[in-house]
Chain A
Amino acid sequence: MIGTLRGFIQVLWDNVDTVNGDAVMLDEQTAPVIATKSLRKMYGPHLALDDATLELPAGAIGILGPNGAGKSTLFKCLLGLIGVTSGEGSVLGHDIRTEGDKIRSKIGYMPEYNSLDPGLFAIDQVRYCGELLGMNSKIAMQRAHEVLEYVGLKEQRYRKIETFSTGMIQATKLACALVHDPEILICDEPTNGLDQRARSFMLKTLRRTVKQGNRTVLMSSHVMDDVQEVCDRIVLIHKGRIVVHRSIGELVSKVEREIEIVVWGGAKKMDEALSSKGLETRRLGRVIRIKFEDDYTVNKILEAAISSGVQVRQLYEYEPDLEDVFLLIMEKLGSEIKGSSELLAIRSGGEEE
């Protein structure tokens, strides 16, 4: 099914080392804000994080992986909340094993699950979060006003959180994470449960935090589009191992070119005609993707359409996205999944996240 992308897989696989867990491919010249070396975390006999070696530069980074892959364990290790079994790591120059409190002072964490007091006004909740970081009460209040305005809740500051919609709750959680202007923002599924408008605003806000605020964002998500919209690079974790760490642009550029056509009146016949002309195809209903081999590929497609008597309603060069990249990686890793959304149902034997 994915024969046309065999070349890409090979290139990708060259960079994936599941034996040593070394997936360090830092090409930027910038100094890493997060660095780990052979990080390993075991919960009793269960290995949650295996030999994780990373060097993350500033910017927006998507953390991907199936449920139970070890994303939350990685976050907890980076926040200095749990002791590591072996290995070492640093965040903003602070040792994750001994300087957890310093790290957490410089990091903003936006949890996936509800973590707000429903009985508080949004402004008081954000202020209290600032105070928990050691901010003076007045300054925390001032910052709470600023960040709530930034996340689009200026008019709702004095509303109780129990009256908020999911989008407003997510925005408040983001405000809580941003109140002290952290150098690194960790967002766990920031678009969870959001409608299209709220999702778009959340992603725009995260992007602005990276671009305008010059902050680093670590974002975990199951929605590839979200990651692609915000992040410059991805870290893929699978069964506790970091298997891919690359910039998205670089990954996508490695995917071979394809022509996508939408046909009418005999997709199967068309598929056979294309195959008989030596073209590699993959088909989903009336949509067929053909590997772009040379400049004559389009001519061959049109000839196949004529010979099979099929209408070609649309024909364009397909632009691969992160979802394609992700599927290929997962297939190579042995996960029989049809899409990133299916990951939600997968338990790969890791810890519960």
Chain B
Amino acid sequence: MTSDEIDIGGGQTRMEVAFGAGDSDSEASAVVAKKDASLGAIFNQNYRPWDGKLGPRWMRNYAIFRHHVYGLITSKGHRNYHPMVRLLIGLIFLVSLSPVPMLFLASLIGGEDGGFLNKMWGVNRYNLWGQVLGFFPRNLCLWPLLTALVVGGMISDDRQNGTSALYFSRPVTRIDYTAMKFISAATILGFVIVFSYFLYYTSAIVFRGEGWAFLADTLPMFLGGVFAGLILVFTYTSIGLSLSSISQSRFFAAIGFLSIIFGSKLIAFLIESQFKTTLLYVLSPYDCLAHIGQYLIGLPLNYEHPLSFSIVSIIMMNSAAIALLVSRVSSLEVTRE
């Protein structure tokens, strides 16, 4: 009710009116509505036509992308991520940038070759590999958790809420739907994993004032790391999304993903410790990626089995995950879910 509708006499507050603001009670006056209170606007239902033009395919696809990616920044108007999920993703991003302040510190302290801090966090093959593919903390605590949080509800929410009907009853094809969901998830993962890697490399150059020689020296291995990071993002996204597509629960997809990553590594580790063979690591997505990453960055390989086994394994894992994803998205219904 606005002040336009009811005029409270003399601007007196209720308290003043009730207890008397003047010298005596006789001066107090009651609140009198000088105008009739509004009974609300009469609902006048009118069909309003629209003769605008609908945009092309990329606009529809961009809408899907924006809905999922912007939701992380602001859930208002976009996909609603739980505040705790957003907080954790932010935290993971910050932790992934932890070498940057150490590099800054190293640049301040100085010393021969930057001293201990630079040896620990400066750019070299091991650190570049570790920034993307190191097991602890990144592939134990950060990337799998990040993937689980991002892909958890990406498709399973559509199954649970029936929102797939909103997509497929519009000119959104299943290919577009799957591709945009994939790209959205991969963008978020890529931003945290690959972008943090970029920031790490860039800050190493900037803080230490490195020149072209350093760039020429380290760029190939840096690019090898970028490529390894992209393969990691692609693999984690495809496995995560396929799990999301087979269930109606965010939790299932998240736990399923973590189980695959950690379970396969644990089994391979136990087999290795018992039978002294690394062959079972071909079943572990992380180890296959680590194996390929070591090759791309130029590190000595610490797996006994041939690199080709890991490459084939990664290709097969991705193919199986994408086949499952496509199959399950094909089964998403419009008329009933």
Contact = CB atoms under 8 A, between A and B. Distances in A.
A102 B335 CA distance: 19
Interface of A: 72, 75-76, 79, 81, 100-102, 104-105, 107, 109, 111-121, 124, 127-129, 131-137, 139, 143, 146-147, 150, 152, 154, 176, 180-181, 188, 204-205, 208-209, 212-213, 215, 352-353
9 contacts: A76-B334, A116-B161, A116-B163, A117-B157, A132-B166, A133-B170, A135-B59, A143-B50, A204-B45
A159 to B, nearest CB: 14
A128 B80 contact: no
B64 interface: yes
A133 B54 contact: yes
Interface string B182-198: 00000000000000000
A131 B77 CA distance: 12
Nearest to A143: B50
Given A109-B169, A134-B59, A152-B45, A119 B54 contact: no
Interface of B: 43, 45-52, 54-57, 59-60, 63-64, 67, 75-80, 157, 161-173, 334-337
A180 B50 CA distance: 7
Contacts of B56: 134
Given A101-B171, A188-B335, A129 B166 contact: yes
A135 B80 CA distance: 21
Contacts of A101: 171, 173
Nearest to B40: A155
B335 A112 contact: yes
Given A105-B54, A132-B63, A352-B336, A114 B162 contact: yes
B162 A115 contact: yes
A134 B335 contact: no
Contacts of B45: 150, 152, 204-205, 208
A101 B77 CA distance: 26
Contact of A132 (B79, B157, B167, B336): B167
Contacts of A209: 47
Contact of A128 (B48, B51, B63, B76): B63
A231 to B, nearest CB: 18
A212 B43 contact: no
A112 B336 contact: yes
Nearest to B54: A134
Given A127-B77, A134-B59, A115 B52 contact: no
B54 A212 contact: no
Contacts of B164: 115
A352 B335 CA distance: 10
Contact of A104 (B57, B162, B171): B171
A213 B169 contact: no
Nearest to A211: B47
Given A72-B335, A111-B335, A113-B165, A150 B47 contact: yes
B312 to A, nearest CB: 35
A74 to B, nearest CB: 10
A146 B161 CA distance: 25
Nearest to A79: B169
A139 B172 contact: no
Given A81-B334, A131-B60, 15 more contacts: A76-B334, A79-B334, A81-B169, A113-B162, A116-B166, A121-B77, A124-B77, A129-B166, A134-B57, A136-B55, A136-B59, A143-B50, A180-B52, A181-B48, A353-B335
Question: A114, A115, A118, A121 — which one has the most chain B CB atoms within 10 A of its CB?
Answer: A115
Contacts of A212: 46-47
Question: A75, A120, A212, A213 — which one has the most chain B CB atoms within 10 A of its CB?
Answer: A120
A133 B53 CA distance: 10
Nearest to A136: B55
A109 B335 CA distance: 10
B335 A76 contact: yes
A117 B55 CA distance: 23
B171 A118 contact: no
Contacts of B76: 124
A293 B257 CA distance: 76
A132 B46 contact: no
B80 A120 contact: yes
B276 to A, nearest CB: 51
A205 B43 CA distance: 13
A213 to B, nearest CB: 4
B259 to A, nearest CB: 27
B335 A117 contact: no
- Which 8 residue pairs of A and B lie closest in terms of their CB atoms, listed nearest first? A119-B80, A134-B55, A131-B63, A213-B47, A109-B169, A101-B171, A181-B50, A134-B54
A99 to B, nearest CB: 10
B172 A132 contact: yes
A129 B60 CA distance: 10
Contacts of A100: 171
B58 to A, nearest CB: 9
